[in-house]
Structure 1
């Protein structure tokens, strides 16, 4: 039996009988959500190996070259609030169409960029465009997918994104070696256009054809930013601390730590990264099923609680001077537990989004979460200059904060 969140969507998704509820495994979900997520991530991954080579072709140093990655992340972060506003005012369907179109345009322009500054601007706009499609799809899932299917829908979307991201660099490396550093961006642009086809034929995520454009001024602007944010501050706290918890892991700072603390080389780190990806991939899909089957809290609390314990254990291992074997075991445990939380925060955001302002709410939600994920690597590195153990303890404390907020403020979705 489902139980509504305070401030959660209370539209027809919560009132349909189980027989009529749209399924996360439906043909509509596959074509409207999972397939375009995979294709877009595949294109992004194909471009990854070409980015360093293209940056070097402009004669810049490493510090400046890293700005290509930073520009994309910054565009992704900056895009959250404007995209939310655009979705509420123009509807999610136009935004989901405009996103891949802009992505394709930026990719084609990157292939013909004449200066490093131009490349930085294009990557920034590419990050903004990526946010457009993702937020439009999250808004569609928030409205169209029933609560008992929403966890799978969101987690499996991110799972397909990870699948594309894993497969893309291998293809990108081959394309770069054959046709040069600019050719992967042509392929990326073409794939972005291909990803539009499912959106055109399968416009909504929940198996229902709904009107995605707001039905007037009151629907788009009748709720203020203050009314969106203040009643849901504890939920935003969950998003913030979850971002702080995940940031250093997603930024691969644990690999950087292993290189300095245990003197691992590129090949050894590559083995660790590949092993971590192979472990996390199936668990991400499993997490969505668990959230819908057993409830959000019964999945998220063990996940974040386990991350807190594993990070604390890594901190203790540095203070005790334990060997590489201990690090590898604790690292893989942390990866497994982190994967168990995959998609959970976005699922909670979809659960609690107010029906009259889904776009703006999800814009703030992702801004807060990504802000935490952007800030935490810098905090991790700053603490590491003093003591590696303090860095791991920082992640552990953030994970504990997530658990505390979940227990106190977020009601369970299953009884």
Structure 2
């Protein structure tokens, strides 16, 4: 008796409801990120303290990863994301109404918490319902959507600053974006109920006498069996400790390189005396190049393997940081800054979706959110730690030294992934 092949995954069924809220939120966040160090220095912060304030975005993401894994598994994506949008608005309003460095830091930290929920919610959904053969492209597209917002956001920021003359006016872009996100989530179909349930029905219809148990991101009323275990992030950590430490650490180094780029470029622009609108424009160009490569990264991973994306990108970012360190006092330092911002954007774009794809490769498909929360927490340790490291080295030595240290760490991280990914993740041609 022949078994029918599973119905092909329909991209059109998820493009708008899955990716649009992420795009809108990341656009608002992307407008705000380049101006955080500038606003901090305007409020009296030193260069090192401005770096610390910018780092609180990543610290918030790190702190939020475990609760986000539990929250998404418990209440579902849409309620969690609506709550996250509200939390981001609270943070921005606090930073605007209480114009001190401290409250700016609080607002940035709350934005980081909200970002962790947005990142994990869509990651868990695509992990459960996207076939393995196109997983990297789907998750690279999700990464590309984030990058698209981060690429467009700085251009919006530059235009708004030029129009209003006030750097803090950019914060209202995030408020408007969060309001739009809530509207999209409320008025478009919930992917968990509509698209997730449809995919499960197709899979069940092709099964040979067995019914697949599904929990986690699936609609609990439609697909979660009564005897399914309650979501536990800590159980996922215990059961997957070895892989989380080995591959999570390597992913954390990649996160550190990415986070360093978002902090170093604005700080470097301040240190060489660039005007705020010009700095935002250069960061926006870097982000646009980053964004342009997201789908190519997914194609590379699906066709050739995960490392063909990760290793070149990590080495490019590591060497780019090191090269930038030697340009600070050159006569054409602005030109070098622009060129290396482009290099860092290109290298980061090549790695688009790698961490999410790696997490999806390793996560259980029936209940991915707890594992992904743990995996993202470890990976985001680098995301949060790199800006703190940069702030500490900048305060104790210099921003130049911070760039060199981050670059060396990036080279070590590339070697770690080269060692461990082949052991735990099969080549895509053998993954069916």
Fold match by TM threshold 0.5:
yes
| Match for residue 417 of structure 2 among 395, 402, 415 | 402
Instruction: Kindly state the Cα deviation for residue 368 of structure 1 after the two structures are TM-superposed.
Output: 0.5
SS at match of 1:17: coil
Contact (CA 8 Å) 2:27, 2:149: kept in 1 or not?
A: yes
* Structure 2 counterpart of 1:412: 427
**Number of matched residues?**
391
1:275 and 1:166 map into 2 onto residues whose CA distance is 7
Q: Which residue of 1 aligns with 2:362?
A: 352
- Aligned-residue offset at 1:349: 1.1
Of residues 175, 181, 188, the one that matches 1:195 is: 181
State the distance in 2 between where 1:326 and 1:162 align: 23
| Partner residue in 2 for 1:21 | 8
State TM-score, norm by structure 1.
Answer: 0.76
Aligned partners of 1:72 and 1:126 also within 8 Å: yes
| Residue 285, structure 1, aligned to residue 285, structure 2 | no
Structure 1 residues 339 and 115, CA, compared in 2 at 3 Å: closer, same or farther?
closer
Instruction: Write out aligned runs for 1:325-336 (5 A).
Output: 336=346
Gaps of 5+ in 1: 1-14
Aligned position for 1:6: none
The verdict on how the C-alpha distance between 1:54 and 1:329 changes in structure 2, with shifts beyond 3 A counting, is closer
Segment drifting more, 391-400 vs 227-236: 227-236
Aligned equivalents of 1:407 and 1:394: distance in 2? 21
Secondary structure of 2:195's partner?
coil
- Within-5 A mapping of 1:35-74: 35-48=20-33, 50-52=35-37, 54-56=39-41, 58-74=43-59
Whether the 8 Å contact between 1:76 and 1:127 is mirrored in structure 2 is yes
Instruction: Give 1:110's aligned residue.
Output: 95
Does residue 1:32 correspond to 2:17, yes or no?
A: yes
**Conserved? CA contact 2:250–2:414, under 8 Å:** yes
Correspondences of 1:367-406 after superposition (within 5 Å): 367-376=377-386, 392-406=407-421
2:209 aligned partner: none
**Residues 166-245 of structure 1 mapped to structure 2, 5 A cutoff:** 166-179=151-164, 180-200=166-186, 201-204=188-191, 208-210=195-197, 211-213=218-220, 215=224, 218-221=227-230, 225-231=234-240, 233-245=242-254
Instruction: Quote the RMSD (CA, aligned, Å).
Output: 4.2
Q: Counterpart in 2 of 1:303?
A: 309
C-alpha change, 1:257 and 1:399, in structure 2 (3 Å) is farther
Q: Are the counterparts in 1 of residues 244 and 378 from structure 2 also a CA contact under 8 Å?
A: no
Deviation at residue 227 of structure 1 after TM alignment: 4.9
Give per-residue Cα distances to partners, 1:242-290, cap 9 Å, x unaligned.
Answer: 321452354138769999xxx9875999898666544433222211133
Give the conservation status (yes or no) of the 8 Å contact 1:248–1:254. Answer: no
- Is this contact kept in 1: 2:250–2:413, CA < 8 A? yes
CA distance in 2, matches of 1:388, 1:49: 18
Superposition deviation, residue 83 in structure 1: 0.9
Give TM-score scaled by structure 2 length.
0.74
Provide the rounded CA distance (Å) in 2 between the counterparts of 1:151 and 1:217: 32
- How far apart in 1 are the matches of 2:99 and 2:265? 34
Rounded Cα–Cα distance in structure 2 between residues aligned with 1:328 and 1:55: 23
1:147 corresponds to which residue? 132
Aligned CA distance change for structure 1 residues 147 and 199 (closer, same or farther; 3 Å) = farther
In 2: Cα distance, 1:81 partner to 1:343 partner: 20
Between the aligned partners of 1:224 and 1:40, the Cα distance in structure 2 is: 26
Change (3 A) 1:316 1:213: closer
Q: Distance in 1 between matches of 2:94 and 2:301?
A: 41
| Alignment equivalent of 1:95, drawn from 80, 86, 93 | 80
Q: Which moved more, 1:165-174 or 1:388-397?
A: 388-397
Does the CA-based 8 Å contact 1:239-1:368 persist in structure 2?
yes
1:248 to 257, 261, 266: 257
Deviation of the 1:363 alpha carbon: 1.0
| Contact 1:29–1:205 (CA under 8 A) maintained in structure 2 | no
Q: CA deviation at 1:410?
A: 1.5
Alignment CA distance shift 1:49-1:220 (3 Å): same
